[in-house]
Structure 1
Amino acid sequence: MTSGPGTPVRVGVFGLLGSGNLGNDGSLEAVLGYLRAEHPDAVVDALCGGPEAVAARYRIPATRLHWYRGEYRTASRAGALAGKGLGKLVDAFRTAAWVRRHDVVIVPGMGVLEATLPLRPWGFPYALFLLCASGRLLRTRVALVGVGADAIADRPTRALVARSARLASYRSYRDGLSRDAMRAMGVDTSRDGVYPDLAFALPAPQASARPGPVCVGVMDFHGGNDDRARAEEIHRRYLDGTTRFVRALVDEGRTVRLLTGDACDAPVAAAILEAVDSPLVTAAQAGSLADLMRETAAAGTVVATRYHNLICALKVGTPTLALSYAAKSDALMERMGLGTYRHPAREIDAGRLMEQFRELEKHSAELRRTLTGRNLTVTRQLRCQFDDLTKALFPTADHAHTTREAP
């Protein structure tokens, strides 16, 4: 579909949006902010996981990503299996019909090219492939903007992800490791840019000048896609280690605020609250990245697992220690100058973690200055991302598409 002269550009946004993951929704919010500021005449709608939530929160029309509503539930009965199978066929036609109505489709951030968490190839990887294939067939530009990628061992998942990336009209990544991973999977990345995560473009509250609680970000962590056989063991070790750390903080009289980043994290926070059983420990009820930023801005220090919990804390300039579960967390901490402050989420040693935490607090003032400088750099780099996106997706007579790496 091509808009004629004077016709507003129709832009679609695509992904697991509105489904309870605050990081995904934060990436969407950043892209909508860009579109409303730089392309206010664009007509925007979404094909997404939670259309009701997206329509209510962002005031754009939204359509359900999957025809079959039980797509992400485990199917064991014949009826559910048949529903999923039929859904794959129906979704091929639904996706193509939706893509056809647009000039541009944007996949805003998210780890759409990775499998660092458990993932089935015929779930979201298949949906992404349908999107990118429909875009190529119908000549609609599909842009993967600031996305995450990682090496994928599972062959069907890897094939779908790599093919989707090749079919996209535009690609940029949230870190160099993501671009390297796609290159290793056979994708030509020579014109693909690397920029900070889109969530850094969101407005941030001012950090508190007074000592605040220790924010501990928890996650329903069961390892990655290749850890399915050990998933429950990994989860038990993660929960036990995190609980021991929180209890040690409480034993020292510290106030602890538990943070989540996805609806599935709530049982983990509840388990820690029950196990520690102290009025010094409370859990935040965050409904957006803005809420998480306010929590981390009020904190004295943050120790967190989920990737976008880390982003929120780093964005507001609060000294942060990562319970790292994937290379993307390591890359983020290095980018922001806190690469020393990492601890493996799979092997939490509460004693060693407490030592690292004390070291973090010891250098708190210095780290706050470091984060102030790094955030200024990140802001400049994201301006480059959005300029590059405009040149690629909204071309005019004097715009040539020249992708560059963020300075």
Structure 2
Amino acid sequence: MTSAGETPVHVGVFGLLGSGNLGNDGSLEAVLGYLRAEHPEAVVDALCGGPEAVATRYRIPATRLHWYRGEYRTASRAGAIAGKGLGKLVDAFRTAAWVRRHDVVIVPGMGVLEATLPLRPWGFPYSLFLLCASGRLLGTRVALVGVGAAAIADRPTRALVRWSARLAKYRSYRDAQSRDAMRAMGVDTTRDEVYPDLAFALPVPPSGPSGQVCVGVMDFHGGNDDRARADEIHRRYLEGTTRFVRALAEEGRPVRLLTGDDCDTTVVAAILDAVDSPLVTAAETSSLADLMKETAAADTVVATRYHNLICALKTGTPTLALSYAAKSDALMAQMGLATYCHPAREIDHDRLLGQFRSLEKHSAELRQTLAERNRAAAQQLTHQFTALTTALFPATYQAHPYQETP
């Protein structure tokens, strides 16, 4: 607690939060849980993509990340292009002014150091660089906590990501390959640690198996280097996923479609229209807690989005990954399910069904494996939050470690 007369520590959270991506918001929720448990005296606010949603859901003040409201719309007219250009200049001053008001800024999880999905350097990489550069110039401690990273081919994006990481006060990663990628891009990772994804710190809702299969879908068009083949990749992914869902429905299996971002609803609609079976339904989810309720109630899960996989694994449900990036393969290996990965870009219907049959056949032993791995993840995240307190709150550090919510 803050003593009388002391100024409370001001903590900012930063990122594409409140913008419809449930995984990003789940990482924020985990960090807010840590702050409220270990640093209840902290004054917390956000600079984020969806300030209205963040302020309403998490009860903290929030400011819009970009001055130009059309930042994520394609600019084709001269006025829109000029607005975006001016916005980049204004954002440099806005970001610095926001950073100046804080003692600590935390970037909670997310794949902020990767380009596994389409990404332009002047988008979020530029915003992250402004944050980290402002922190270094103004003496505000910036922490990249449990983030994802990957090797980036595009030179401007790679440069912005590399300098953002170098300028941060604290870095930790959600898997070893993320740390390796940053080292390969020229960042000194000697003191950087690897911990499980922050979403593993969230509580698991009580539930019991319902007999259904959850299929998590994604508006998938490939990665940053696949722009020329984006439409083809999307078509093949949608056809493969639809065929798999149809096969389950024809066997009389109830299927529950899950999303992880607002844009995924178009894929859900396409599958429902193509399969046209009362056994196939769509879940309405607005948080990782909602997703966990769905996956906890499932017998098995087949999913694409990274945080759909985390929700299923966290609840101990046998899971098969339609993997679109190396981070998914790493996560499945970490949780003891490396055998159950299938490439999202090249779905082979017969092989996918074979993997699914094997997943169901070994369900009991896989649930035991997941229980053991989840206990280990909880212990590691306890160390993560204790290390974060030591690095960012030295004056208020208390010897007792952060305790994960059961």
Distance 1:272 1:179 in 2: 37
CA-to-aligned-CA distance 1:107-153 (integer Å, 9 cap, x gap): 00000000000000000000000000000000000000000000000
Alignment of 1:210-221 (within 5 A): 210-221=209-220
Counterpart in 2 of 1:293? 292
8 Å CA contact 1:216–1:304 kept in 2: the answer is: yes
Distance 2:398 2:134 in 1: 26
Distance 2:150 2:4 in 1: 39
Distance 2:378 2:227 in 1: 38
Paired AA for residue 34 in structure 1:
Y
Counterpart in 1 of 2:10? 10
Structure 2: unaligned runs, 5 residues or longer: 400-406
8 Å CA contact 2:389–2:397 kept in 1: the answer is: no
Provide runs of 4+ in structure 1 moved above 4 Å: 397-400
Residue 397 of structure 1: how far off its partner (Å): 8.5
Distance 1:213 1:151 in 2: 37
Residue 207 of structure 1: how far off its partner (Å): 4.4
Counterpart in 2 of 1:268? 267
8 Å CA contact 1:301–1:320 kept in 2: the answer is: yes
Counterpart in 2 of 1:121? 121
Counterpart in 2 of 1:229? 228
Paired AA for residue 90 in structure 2:
V
Alignment of 1:29-48 (within 5 A): 29-48=29-48
Alignment of 1:335-350 (within 5 A): 335-350=334-349
Residue 353 of structure 1: how far off its partner (Å): 0.5
Distance 1:79 1:397 in 2: 49
Counterpart in 1 of 2:354? 355
Paired AA for residue 372 in structure 1:
A
Counterpart in 1 of 2:196? 196
Aligned residue pair count: 397
SS in 1 for 2:298: coil
Counterpart in 2 of 1:277? 276
CA-to-aligned-CA distance 1:333-388 (integer Å, 9 cap, x gap): 00100010000000001111011000000000000000000000000000000000
Distance 1:297 1:31 in 2: 23
Structure 1: unaligned runs, 5 residues or longer: 401-407
Residue 398 of structure 1: how far off its partner (Å): 7.6
Counterpart in 1 of 2:394? 395
Paired AA for residue 214 in structure 2:
C
Paired AA for residue 52 in structure 2:
E
8 Å CA contact 1:207–1:317 kept in 2: the answer is: no
CA RMSD of aligned residues (A): 1.4
CA-to-aligned-CA distance 1:22-50 (integer Å, 9 cap, x gap): 00000000000000000000000000000
Residue 205 of structure 1: how far off its partner (Å): 1.6
Alignment of 1:7-86 (within 5 A): 7-86=7-86
Distance 1:351 1:5 in 2: 68
8 Å CA contact 1:207–1:318 kept in 2: the answer is: no
Distance 1:322 1:51 in 2: 32
Decide whether aligned partners of structure 1 residues 113 and 5 sit closer, same or farther in structure 2, where only a CA change above 3 A counts.
Answer: farther
Decide whether aligned partners of structure 1 residues 398 and 91 sit closer, same or farther in structure 2, where only a CA change above 3 A counts.
Answer: closer
Q: State yes or no: 1:184 paired with 2:178.
A: no
Decide whether aligned partners of structure 1 residues 4 and 74 sit closer, same or farther in structure 2, where only a CA change above 3 A counts.
Answer: farther
Alignment of 1:90-109 (within 5 A): 90-109=90-109
Residue 240 of structure 1: how far off its partner (Å): 0.2
Distance 2:31 2:41 in 1: 15
8 Å CA contact 1:206–1:316 kept in 2: the answer is: no
8 Å CA contact 2:390–2:397 kept in 1: the answer is: no
Alignment of 1:115-194 (within 5 A): 115-194=115-194
Distance 2:5 2:149 in 1: 37
CA-to-aligned-CA distance 1:209-248 (integer Å, 9 cap, x gap): x442100000000000000000000000000000000000
8 Å CA contact 1:207–1:316 kept in 2: the answer is: no
Distance 2:53 2:170 in 1: 27
**TM-score, structure 2 normalization:** 0.96
Paired AA for residue 245 in structure 1:
F
SS in 1 for 2:162: helix
SS in 1 for 2:122: coil
Distance 1:240 1:165 in 2: 39
Distance 1:47 1:4 in 2: 29
8 Å CA contact 2:141–2:169 kept in 1: the answer is: yes
